[in-house]
Amino acid sequence: MPVRRTLVVNFFAKFGETGGRKVSRIGRMPVEIPNGVQVDVKGSFVSISGPKGKLERTFSPSISIEMENNQLLITRSSNAPAQRALHGTTRAVLNNMVVGVSTGFEKVLEYEGVGYRAEMNGPKLVLYLGFSHPIEVEPPEGVTFEVEAKSRQVFVRGFNKEDVGQVAANIRELRPPEPYHGKGIHYLGEYIRRKPGKSGKAM
């Protein structure tokens, strides 16, 4: 590749098509609005509703949010480092809101241990984790549980990604996986670093 062309390629790779002004790669991507989802933008306040529920949020006034051609367009007021970070974060949050109300989010937990089991009591999740008593977990509004006893899995579902993640984390904390035998609650696919057990001395 000629030297001149190499310099041009390197320049655009470093600064993008806007020259010295860096643009958030995530922030500049529009958020597509699927069928069945309604979006209401009033300044920095955004309300999004769909088949799964309704979410509302107020964003920073320094970030502009506009609805155009069934897309949400996000722009920022300056190129300060904080604004560039906020630009991408705003777009990610809006996309999560759209996905949440249209298809929802899910976290899958697995439980391992002799005598460990889970069952439903109405909307509540009941866990038997080796304690002297069962633990009841009541889902917050917008979150539901499902138990698959055969695969020893608990499904946490909802339209708010933050709520789903927090509820799943709270359940995992009830009995975190221990490193020797892996007993406890862990996320599906989570790597549990195992420690070798202590071996007794030979007599």
52-111 pLDDT, tens per residue? 999 999 999 999 999 999 999 999 888 888 888 899 999 999 999 999 999 999 999 999
**All residues at 6 or more sequence positions from 58 whose CB lies less than 8 Å from its CB, including other chains:** 44, 45, 46
Distance from C-alpha of 94 to C-alpha of 57, rounded to nearest angstrom = 9
**Same fold? 21-102, 105-187:** yes
- pLDDT greater at residue 136 or residue 18: 136
- pLDDT greater at residue 190 or residue 1: 190
If DSSP codes are grouped into helix, strand and coil, which group holds residue 43? coil
Which top CATH class is 105-187?
A: alpha beta
Q: Where are the domains of the chain?
A: 21-102, 105-187
Please give the pLDDT value at position 201: 52
Distance from C-alpha of 41 to C-alpha of 64, rounded to nearest angstrom = 10
Residue (of 139, 143, 141, 119) closest to 129 by Cα position: 119
- DSSP E strands, 26-62: 31-32, 38-42, 45-50, 53-58
179-203 pLDDT, tens per residue? 888 899 999 999 887 777 665 554 4
- Residue 36 pLDDT level (bands cut at 50, 70, 90): very high
166-183 pLDDT, tens per residue? 999 999 999 999 888 889
CATH of 21-102, one of 1.20.1290.10, 3.90.930.12, 3.30.70.100, 3.40.50.300: 3.90.930.12
Supply the mean pLDDT for the chain.
87
- CB count within 10 Å of CB 109 equals 22
